[in-house]
């Protein structure tokens, strides 16, 4: 079996005639996807390499987390996804020769005297993204005045405004940002450190790696790699009026698939949290209405504690404090836990009010029929309470969708986080945030209408029942 | 002499310092209909509610078929399932349709199957003249229809004693007749009941005994002809006169 496979493999780098290549198409200008259409620097690179090998190419989109396991299990022949070549990755996978210099570079205002290296940054105010390679690279140099930013696009705005003397960050990413939105800034040619991107293969595909290396070397030699880079990252590619001073619909449209992905996470988080919160809230509401002090008091204390502390603090508590006690949960679980625990406090108050608003005659009639206290709750009170609570519950669901943005602090790529990343990638908050707002609005509007409709309907029902 | 179906001995009930029942004795013999009358606030509802332990008497004893009623949630529930109660304001479950209102207790309390319970439900709905209404929602029914459903719902548990607390007081006058008709039928079947009512002619016709309650004590009791036709107690006379004037208006 193996020898048959090797025999084919030696004959052609793509025995089926097509290379299947994994990519993470959420990273313009390198790899992105609108509808079924892939585009970007790496897409074109892959195409040219495949052509040189005499193969076709099929792209498979994957999140970056899952892309290496899929490669190693044989789902792809190769991965082209802005993968930095590291010794650690080399131990389990093969890399082609590098196709992109991705080290740290210095950004300055056009017209300022050029700073060639780290030594030249001494005494200057230099902006970096918080916890980025740039920060780590400069921290051992106390003579550099480091200013850390939560998002790298902000560094460029401040450099433009004169609040910084220079900015240090990933060369390809910044090249694209400058091209898109900062024609008044320039990227230094010197690489402050060595970081390179390569095409990745499973260890048993040495034949393919070697063929690709030949193709890439050919592209370096005849200048086509350079041309590609100029096409996607060069200033010549800068679109008319690229500066981020007005809203650009085209950019928003390109971002929509990613916003939709973020929205899916947001919906998943808020729906799961809501569903988890309901039973918790019901238990709390019933406990608070109990005759037993031992149930009533802790439930009341719990609800007041949750309502009296900011959700953000609760998220931080679960995310950063619990692991200190040896409890570490997956991010999504932590997010759902935090959101649902918080929501349960508010929902329990809604349910408590709804339970309290039910005519005492209902429990009496049920008790007179022989139902136990639990059965009265289960079959008579709770179903009615839920009906009455539907409008406020819907409002709570809307609140949950919006509040779920808070878990972006944990790095969950839900809608708000996606917005942050996009705005930062294009250095264009003006075009991205309206799209984010619109996406939230599209998700919450149907719920808001539903709530209004139910409120109207219910008020009719209550009037009728009362007369 | 028959053992009374239910017997109250010196039952008292206070709300705070307000003594609502002050030593009430009452017997309901099997197959008899006891009408409880008295001015508003005299404790009629409280008395009725003590009979199925919706209120717990502060003192006194309650016997069911000659046996004193014990303590404990289990015993209470079993007792309530044997004693049906119909309320002034119906208290149908608004989230269930008519059929499911009837099915809830047999299914949940007695664990009956839906099919089996539905068969009895249809028979009872027929009996109260609402067989066409099985799928209707309570809020779509008239008061009279709702009260008839409530009666059917209570009959589903095959109670040995029926308690009616002013079953027609919340109804428009033209709907009173249909509900009284159903109660009359039940009386004719020989069911044991206690009815709190202000419908004196109905009490005279249906009751085997009338009990006059005033300020938490029974001041007069006996056959309807005697208590309603020839009341011995001055307060009974004034009360009856006031009710009579009111119903003439
Ligand atoms: N749950 C309660 N708490 C306090 N007082 C009550 C309660 N229920 C009834 N009462 C009082 O007890 C008295 C008797 O009430 P009730 O038995 O309903 O009278 P009736 O049915 O004869 O009109 C009234 O004065 C009423 O206000
Ligand atoms: Mg009353």
pLDDT digits (tens, 9 = 90+) for A135-176: 888 999 999 999 988 777 778 888 988 889 999 988 888 888
Q: Specify the DSSP element, H or E, that contains B249.
A: none
pLDDT band at A8 (very low <50, low <70, confident <90, very high): very low
A229-233, A291-295, A424-428, A448-452 — most confident range: A291-295
- Alpha-carbon Rg for chain B, nearest whole angstrom, is 18
Q: Which of residues 54-73 of B touch A (CB under 8 A)?
A: 54, 73
- Round the average pLDDT of chain A to a whole number and report it: 86
- The domain spans of chain B are 6-248
Give contacts of A383 with chain B, Cβ < 8 Å: 95
- Pocket of ligand 1 from Cβ distances under 6 Å: B 15, 20, 40-46
Query: Which ligand does the CA of B54 lie closest to?
Result: 1
For A188: left if phi > 0, alpha if psi spans -120 to 50, otherwise beta; the answer is: beta
Chain B residues with CB under 8 Å of A379 CB are: 104, 108
How many CB atoms are closer than 10 A to CB B188? 10
Given the structure tokens 């070397």, which residue do they identify?
A: A217
User: What is the mean predicted confidence (pLDDT) over A210-221?
Assistant: 95
User: Are B109 and A364 inside 8 Å of each other by CB?
Assistant: no
Of B232, B89, B230, B83, nearest to B160 by C-alpha is: B83
Starting from the CA of residue B215, give the closest ligand.
Answer: 1
In chain B, the N- to C-terminal Cα span, in Å, equals: 43
Give the pLDDT of residue A238. 54
The per-residue pLDDT for range A375-393, each reduced to its tens digit, is 999 999 999 998 889 889 9
Sign of CA dihedral B48, B51, B56, B61: positive
Q: Which residues contact A31 (CB under 8 A, 6 or more apart)?
A: A23, A24, A25, A38, A40, A41, A42, A43, A80, A81, A82
Q: For residues A87 and A181, which has the higher predicted lDDT (pLDDT)?
A: A87
Q: Give the pLDDT of residue A465.
A: 38
Contact indicator for B14, B23 with CB cutoff of 8 Å: no
pLDDT at A4 over 50: no
Kindly tell me if the per-residue pLDDT of A271 is higher than 70: yes
CB A106 within 8 A of CB A168: yes
Q: Which of B76, B105, B154 to mutate: most A Cβ within 10 Å?
A: B105
The predicted structure's pLDDT at residue A237: 55
Task: Give yes or no for A297 touching B (CB within 8 A).
Answer: no
Statement: residue A243 has pLDDT above 70: no
In terms of DSSP H, where are the helices of chain B? 44-51, 73-82, 98-110, 114-127, 143-155, 173-188, 200-206, 224-229, 234-248
Tell me the C-alpha distance between A380 and B92, whole Å: 10
Cβ-nearest to A372 among B77, B85, B93: B77
What's the whole-number mean pLDDT along residues A95-122? 92
- Residue B127: the pLDDT is 95
From A364, A379, A464, residue closest to B91, measured CB to CB: A364
A442 pLDDT band, cuts 50/70/90, is very high
pLDDT in the model for residue A459:
57
- A191 and A171 Cβ atoms separated by less than 8 Å: yes
Measured between CB atoms, does A460 come within 8 Å of chain B?
Answer: no
pLDDT at A63 over 80: no
Contact check, Cβ <8 Å, A465/B87: no
Contact B91 A375 (CB under 8 A): no
Query: Would the pLDDT of A235 be above 70?
Result: no
User: What average pLDDT score do residues A73-84 get?
Assistant: 91
B6-248 CATH fold: Rossmann fold (3.40.50)
Asked whether the beta carbons of residue A379 and residue B104 sit closer than 8 angstroms, the reply is: yes
- Map residue A58 onto helix, strand or coil: strand
Strands A18-23 and A56-61: parallel
Contacts of B73 in chain A (CB under 8 A): 372-373
Q: How many residues does chain B have?
A: 249
Q: Going by CA atoms, what residue is nearest to atom 16 of ligand 1?
A: B43
Q: How far is the CA of B46 from the centre of ligand 1 (A)?
A: 6
Q: Reply yes or no on whether the pLDDT at A290 is more than 80.
A: yes
Q: Which domains does chain A have, with CATH numbers?
A: 2-100+196-233 (3.40.190.10), 104-193 (3.40.190.10), 250-466 (1.10.3720.10)
Contact check, Cβ <8 Å, B93/A380: yes
Is the backbone peptide bond immediately before A369 cis, with ω within 30 degrees of 0?
Answer: no
**pLDDT computed for residue A330 by the predictor:** 83
Structure tokens, A391: 């409008």
Residue of chain A minimizing CA distance to B75: A370
Residue bearing tokens 């508010």? A346
Range from A33-42, A190-199, A281-290 carrying the lowest mean pLDDT: A33-42
Residues of chain B with pLDDT under 70: 1, 248-249
Which ligand ends up closest to the CA of B88? Answer: 2
pLDDT of res. B15 = 94
Q: How are beta strands B217-222 and B209-214 bridged, if at all?
A: antiparallel
3-class DSSP assignment, residue A76: coil
Q: What is the pLDDT of residue A387?
A: 87
Q: When comparing pLDDT for B167 and A194, which is higher? A: B167
What is the value of ipTM here, to two decimals? 0.94
Q: Is A380 on the interface with B (CB under 8 A)?
A: yes
> For residue B40, how far is its CA from the centre of ligand 1 (angstroms)?
9
Q: Edge-to-edge, what's the strand order for the sheet holding A31-34?
A: A26-27, A31-34, A37-39
Q: Within 10 A of A145 (CB to CB), how many other CB atoms are there?
A: 15
- Residue A427 contacts residue A244 (beta carbons within 8 Å): yes
Split at pLDDT 50, 70, 90, the class of A9 is: very low
- Taking CA atoms, what residue in B is nearest to A383? B95
Residue of A nearest to B171 (CA): A467
According to the model, what pLDDT value does residue A3 have?
42
Q: How far is CA A284 from CA A27, A277, A352, B16, B79, in A?
A: 45, 10, 9, 31, 31
Q: Within an 8 Å CB–CB cutoff, is residue B242 touching chain A?
A: no
- Residue B16 CA: which ligand 1 atom is closest? 4
Using CA atoms, how far apart are residues B165 and B161, in angstroms rounded to an integer?
13
**Ligand 1 center–CA A296 separation, angstroms:** 28
**What residue of B is the nearest CA neighbor of A366?**
B105
Which residues on B lie below 8 Å from A368 (Cβ)?
A: 52, 54, 80, 83-85, 154
Strand, coil or helix: what is A170?
Answer: strand
What span, in angstroms and rounded, lies between the C-alpha atoms of B239 and B200? Answer: 11
Buried b (16+ CB within 10 A) or exposed e, B98-126: bbbbbbbbbbbbeebeeeebbebbeebbe
B81 touches chain A (CB under 8 A): yes
- A291 in contact with B at a CB cutoff of 8 Å? no
User: Residue B89 is nearest to which of A361, A368, A375, comparing CB atoms?
Assistant: A361
State the Cα–Cα distance between residues A360 and A35, nearest whole angstrom. 58
Is B190's Cβ below 8 Å from some Cβ in A? no
Pocket test for ligand 1, best of B20, B47, B56 (most atoms within 8 A of CB): B20
Q: CA A11, A17, A19: angle at the middle one, nearest 5?
A: 100
Nearest chain B alpha carbon to A380: B93
Q: Does B174 touch chain A (CB under 8 A)?
A: no
- Mean pLDDT, residues A175-183: 82
């Amino acid at each position: 079996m193996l020898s048959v496979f090797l025999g084919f493999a030696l004959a052609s780098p793509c025995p089926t005639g097509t290379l299947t290549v994994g990519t993470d198409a959420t990273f313009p200008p390198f790899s992105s996807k609108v509808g079924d259409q892939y585009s970007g620097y790496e897409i074109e690179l892959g195409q040219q390499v495949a052509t040189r090998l005499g193969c076709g190419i099929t792209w498979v989109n994957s999140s970056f987390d899952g892309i290496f396991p899929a490669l190693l299990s044989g789902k792809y022949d190769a991965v082209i996804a802005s993968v930095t070549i590291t010794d650690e990755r080399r131990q389990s996978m093969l890399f082609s020769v590098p196709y992109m210099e991705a080290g740290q570079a210095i950004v300055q205002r056009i017209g300022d005297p050029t700073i060639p290296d780290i030594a030249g940054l001494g005494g200057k105010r230099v902006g970096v993204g918080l916890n980025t390679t740039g920060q780590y690279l400069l921290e051992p140099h106390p003579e550099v005045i480091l200013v850390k930013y939560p998002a790298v696009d902000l560094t460029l705005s401040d450099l433009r405004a004169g609040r910084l003397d220079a900015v240090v960050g990933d060369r390809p990413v910044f090249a694209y940002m400058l091209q898109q939105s900062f024609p008044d800034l320039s990227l230094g040619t010197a690489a402050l450190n060595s970081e390179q991107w390569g095409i990745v293969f499973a260890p048993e595909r040495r034949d393919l790696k070697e063929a690709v290396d030949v193709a890439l070397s050919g592209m370096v030699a005849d200048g086509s790699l350079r041309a590609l880079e100029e096409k996607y990252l060069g200033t010549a590619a800068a679109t008319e009026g690229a500066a981020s001073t007005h809203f650009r619909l085209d950019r928003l449209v390109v971002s929509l698939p990613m916003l939709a992905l973020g929205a899916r996470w947001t919906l998943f988080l808020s729906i799961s949290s809501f569903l988890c919160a309901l039973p918790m809230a019901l238990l709390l509401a019933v406990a608070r209405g109990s005759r037993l002090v031992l149930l009533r008091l802790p439930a009341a204390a719990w609800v007041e504690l949750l309502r009296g502390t900011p959700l953000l603090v609760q998220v931080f508590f679960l995310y950063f404090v619990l692991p200190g006690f040896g409890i570490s949960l997956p991010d999504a679980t932590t997010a759902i836990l935090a959101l649902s625990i918080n929501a349960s406090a508010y929902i329990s108050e809604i349910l408590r009010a709804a339970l309290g608003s039910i005519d005492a005659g209902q429990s009496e009639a049920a008790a007179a029929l022989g139902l136990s206290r639990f059965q009265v709750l289960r079959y008579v009170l709770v179903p009615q309470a839920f009906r009455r609570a539907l409008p406020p519950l819907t409002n709570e669901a809307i609140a949950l969708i919006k509040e779920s943005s808070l878990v972006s602090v944990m790095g969950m790529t839900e809608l708000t986080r996606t917005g942050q990343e996009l705005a930062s990638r294009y250095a264009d908050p003006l075009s991205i945030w309206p799209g984010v707002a619109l996406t939230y609005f599209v998700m919450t509007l149907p719920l808001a209408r539903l709530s209004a409709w139910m409120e109207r309907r219910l008020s009719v029902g209550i009037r009728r029942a009362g007369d | 002499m028959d053992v009374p179906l239910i017997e109250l001995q010196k039952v008292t009930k206070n709300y705070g310092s307000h003594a609502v029942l002050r030593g009430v004795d009452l017997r309901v013999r099997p197959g008899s209909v006891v009408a409880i009358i008295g001015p508003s606030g005299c404790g009629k509802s409280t008395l009725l509610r003590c009979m199925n332990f919706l209120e717990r008497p502060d003192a006194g004893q309650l016997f069911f078929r000659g046996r004193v009623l014990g303590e404990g949630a289990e015993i209470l529930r079993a007792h309530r399932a044997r004693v049906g109660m119909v309320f002034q304001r119906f208290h149908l479950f608004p989230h269930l349709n008519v059929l499911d209102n009837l099915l809830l207790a047999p299914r949940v309390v007695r664990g009956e199957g839906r099919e089996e319970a539905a068969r009895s439900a249809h028979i009872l709905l027929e009996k109260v003249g609402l067989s066409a209404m099985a799928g209707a929602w309570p809020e779509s029914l008239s008061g009279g229809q709702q009260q008839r459903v409530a009666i059917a719902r209570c009959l589903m548990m095959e109670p040995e004693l029926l308690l009616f607390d002013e079953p027609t007081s919340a109804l428009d006058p033209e709907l009173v007749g249909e509900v009284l008709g159903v109660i009359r039928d039940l009386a004719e079947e020989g069911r044991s009941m206690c009815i709190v009512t202000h419908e004196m002619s109905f009490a005279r016709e249906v009751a085997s005994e009338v009990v006059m309650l005033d300020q938490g004590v029974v001041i007069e009791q006996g056959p309807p002809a005697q208590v309603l036709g020839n009341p011995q107690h001055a307060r009974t006379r004034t009360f009856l006169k006031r009710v009579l004037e009111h119903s003439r208006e």
